[in-house]
A and B are shown apart, each in its own frame.
Chain A
Amino acid sequence: MREWAEYSVDERGGRVTVSITGPLVVSGIGKLDPELRGFSGSAQFIDISGASRVDTVGAWIVHRFAEEQGAEIIGASEAAEVLLEAVEECSSDADITPPRPYVLGRVAEELGKKVVDFGYGMRRNVGFLGAILIAFLTVIRHPSRFRVKALVRQMELVGVSSLPIIGLMSFLIGIVIAQQGAVQLQQFGAETLTVNLVGRITLRELGVLMTAIMVAGRSGSAFAAQIGTMQLTEEIDAMRTIGVSPMEALVLPRILAAILMMPLLGFYASVVAIVGGAVIGDVMLGIPFWTFLARVQEVVPTYDFYVGMVKAPVFGLIIALSGCYQGMQVKGNAEEVGLRTTMAVVQAIFMVIVLDAFFAVFFTEVGWA
């Protein structure tokens, strides 16, 4: 059984002595501490000669109780004496947590911070874009400084390695659109229009949009985490001192890789989605697989393809930009890396969807409806 320290009160000749027995150590004072706190009455002496073992926590409790009661500690062993002296020297009443302002003040403060941060964030984002442009121009002027290897490596990571997951996702999306679309269109006897639906929506919107979301989750987050960790380990500072520009070495290859790979991935996603739709067409609607594909060629105008391909590199830029920007903003501790990575993904997806809405309106206005 676990042993607990206990106390007993002894009153003799008007003098109250509190005797503490048992292990006066951290594992044994769990019950004694609240009891002593609630001790009513006054004690003149505290006898700890019955304590089997004493550590600093036990000594602290006795010391505190003695202070409260104005009592004298008796019967302490030599070791206990040392501990009592040590804890006595160490008493303090400092705060445990940083002081917190009242709720109203805190809300106002947080809100103000958010607004100011948003403003600065916008400015710095634009500044970051400018820095990238400058780095890009420098690299054009001095092509030998361009890191082809890093670019190829990033293109592999952003593009090639994401082919399986983007393919699977697009195939399933094609199936869902064709199947759900067919159910609705059947009510009007227009199930053959499923071909138009799948072909146009994937090439114009969904192929590129879903790819952008997937790339933001896969690569945008990776950019932020990689660069953020390098920022923490002072690798980026080391680069600067050696004279290597982190913009050219880290940021530019990632941005270019995303810009170059997004159209390819977006087109690939659209094609796979159409194939998925064709499979459903074959199985559910009785449109033969090859006929479905041939019809796509007839009903989808070429500009639908251009709409998707114009948007894709812009989305790539947005994703890589927010990933790299957030990564470069990391400072302090490991927690910040996680925070910035999340921010990079959220910012990227949000911006992509906002821009997609603008693009939709724009292309309809210019007649590519």
Chain B
Amino acid sequence: MSDDPMQEAAPDNAALDEAALNDSALELPEGYDNKFPIRIRGLTNAFGDYVVHDALDLDVRQGEILGVVGGSGTGKSVLMRSIIGLQFPREGDIEVFGQNITDAEPDEVIGVRNRWGVLFQGGALFSTLTVAENVQVPLKQFYPELDQTLLDEIARYKTVLTGLPAEAASKFPSELSGGMKKRAGLARALSLDPELLFLDEPTAGLDPIGAAKFDELTRELTDTLGLTVFLITHDLDTLYAICDRVAVLADKKVIAVGTIPELLETDHPWIQEYFNGPRSRAAAKSHEGADDRRKALDKPQAGRA
């Protein structure tokens, strides 16, 4: 534990973060009405001469699960990295909770980092820490006043909340399977009770049963905790099962945003190919049946997760 840089750095940064917390947690910038946690205007990203995004616009609504799809190399991950401030865009504005991200340096304290959680594709768990300690890292960073007993309790219930067995809390990431790593990564992403959750291909590399369970978990948590989810995926089942809206990335722009039936009405060739391909039709079919069953189940336990 003691050899972890995150924990040693915590006290220094904590003071700064606290200042940012005071400003941001409640007093929102003027004109921010809480309807669109993420607003992107005219985003242009380029690597050398290769333009990934060209004047891209996108709004994410409060409380929705927005699926982001697109062919390989269309810059889905770059888009996510831009929003969370890891990729510095060439042009354009990105507002998260009304705060401009593009003006800030990658490591600058911008007062929104404690309001989002990010699940990277490989989980990106700190390999020298146990799952529980991983969950505690953001908590220690932002809220150094919390008691170790409380931190342990939080780590325990978050572990179980994300569907891991309770004993997994004391395991190191190298002892976990791929699906468990994703869940542990999700537990860390959720450790601060964020309002906004970024998921980068959460079901990639999981077996169909694990993927379906992860989808279910995402939906449940979104409803329980009132999250807004920005979800990058290739998984058609995920799109059909849990996404409220889907944004399609192609031609360096978001060419369409909407529910799947809405998207099917557009006549962009890529969208047609994507949603009318054999795999998509199969996913849609299996989902129709599942949807009815889910609705029937949902009714009696409405309001519960």
Enumerate chain A interface residues (CB-CB to B < 8 A): 1-3, 25-27, 29-31, 33-34, 37, 55-57, 60-61, 64, 78-79, 81-83, 85-87, 89-99, 332-335
Q: A217: shortest Cβ distance to chain B, in Å? A: 23
Q: In the complex the two chains form, is B25's CB within 8 Å of A2's CB?
A: yes
B225 partner residues in chain A, CB cutoff 8 A? 55-56, 83, 86
Q: In the complex the two chains form, is A97's CB within 8 Å of B193's CB?
A: no
Could you give 21 example pairs across A and B, Cβ below 8 Å? A2-B21, A3-B26, A26-B139, A31-B145, A33-B146, A55-B225, A56-B157, A56-B161, A57-B193, A81-B303, A86-B225, A86-B305, A91-B156, A92-B169, A95-B167, A97-B1, A97-B170, A98-B171, A332-B174, A333-B174, A334-B127
| Whole-angstrom CA separation of A332 from B127 in the bound complex | 10
| Whole-angstrom CA separation of A167 from B224 in the bound complex | 67
Q: B193: shortest Cβ distance to chain A, in Å? A: 4
Question: Does B155 make an interface contact (CB < 8 A)?
Answer: yes
Question: Does B192 make an interface contact (CB < 8 A)?
Answer: yes
Q: In the complex the two chains form, is A33's CB within 8 Å of B156's CB?
A: no
Within 8 Å by CB of A93, from B145, B156, B171, lies B156
12 new A-B pairs (CB below 8 Å) besides A31-B145, A57-B193? Answer: A56-B161, A83-B225, A86-B161, A86-B225, A90-B156, A90-B158, A92-B156, A97-B170, A98-B172, A333-B174, A335-B127, A335-B128
Interface centre among A60, A78, A86, A333 (most CB of B within 10 A): A86
Q: In the complex the two chains form, is B305's CB within 8 Å of A96's CB?
A: no
Question: Does B212 make an interface contact (CB < 8 A)?
Answer: no
Q: In the complex the two chains form, is B132's CB within 8 Å of A96's CB?
A: yes
Q: In the complex the two chains form, is B161's CB within 8 Å of A90's CB?
A: yes
Question: Does B160 make an interface contact (CB < 8 A)?
Answer: yes
Chain A: which residue is nearest B23 at the CB level? A2
Q: A66: shortest Cβ distance to chain B, in Å? A: 14
Q: B49: shortest Cβ distance to chain A, in Å? A: 29
B155 partner residues in chain A, CB cutoff 8 A? 96
| Whole-angstrom CA separation of A91 from B225 in the bound complex | 17
Q: In the complex the two chains form, is B132's CB within 8 Å of A97's CB?
A: yes
Shortest beta-carbon contacts, A-B, top 4: A92-B166, A30-B145, A55-B193, A94-B166
Q: A207: shortest Cβ distance to chain B, in Å? A: 39
Q: B45: shortest Cβ distance to chain A, in Å? A: 27
B166 partner residues in chain A, CB cutoff 8 A? 92-94
Question: Does B226 make an interface contact (CB < 8 A)?
Answer: yes
B4-44 with Cβ < 8 A to chain A: 18, 21-22, 25-26
Q: In the complex the two chains form, is B21's CB within 8 Å of A27's CB?
A: yes
Question: Does B260 make an interface contact (CB < 8 A)?
Answer: no
Question: Does B270 make an interface contact (CB < 8 A)?
Answer: no
Within 8 Å by CB of B156, from A3, A85, A96, A333, lies A96
Enumerate chain B interface residues (CB-CB to A < 8 A): 1, 18, 21-22, 25-26, 114, 127-128, 130, 132-133, 139, 142-143, 145-147, 149-150, 152-161, 166-174, 192-193, 224-226, 303-305
Within 8 Å by CB of A2, from B22, B193, B303, lies B22
A27 partner residues in chain B, CB cutoff 8 A? 21, 25, 114, 142-143
Q: In the complex the two chains form, is A91's CB within 8 Å of B133's CB?
A: no
| Whole-angstrom CA separation of A26 from B114 in the bound complex | 10
Q: B124: shortest Cβ distance to chain A, in Å? A: 12
Q: A233: shortest Cβ distance to chain B, in Å? A: 12
Q: In the complex the two chains form, is A91's CB within 8 Å of B157's CB?
A: yes
Q: In the complex the two chains form, is A78's CB within 8 Å of B303's CB?
A: yes
A1 partner residues in chain B, CB cutoff 8 A? 22
A26 partner residues in chain B, CB cutoff 8 A? 139, 143, 146, 192-193
Q: In the complex the two chains form, is A333's CB within 8 Å of B303's CB?
A: no
| Whole-angstrom CA separation of A96 from B154 in the bound complex | 11
B157 partner residues in chain A, CB cutoff 8 A? 56, 60, 87, 90-92
A90 partner residues in chain B, CB cutoff 8 A? 156-158, 160-161
| Whole-angstrom CA separation of A1 from B25 in the bound complex | 10
Q: In the complex the two chains form, is B139's CB within 8 Å of A91's CB?
A: no
| Whole-angstrom CA separation of A117 from B275 in the bound complex | 57
Chain B: which residue is nearest A332 at the CB level? B174
B150 partner residues in chain A, CB cutoff 8 A? 33, 61
Q: In the complex the two chains form, is A60's CB within 8 Å of B154's CB?
A: yes
| Whole-angstrom CA separation of A82 from B149 in the bound complex | 24
Q: With A2-B25, A56-B161 as given contacts, are A94 and B224 in contact (CB-CB < 8 Å)? A: no
Q: A338: shortest Cβ distance to chain B, in Å? A: 11
Q: In the complex the two chains form, is B145's CB within 8 Å of A82's CB?
A: no
Interface centre among A3, A27, A98 (most CB of B within 10 A): A27
| Whole-angstrom CA separation of A33 from B114 in the bound complex | 20
Within 8 Å by CB of B193, from A34, A56, A94, A334, lies A56
| Whole-angstrom CA separation of A89 from B132 in the bound complex | 18
| Whole-angstrom CA separation of A37 from B153 in the bound complex | 13
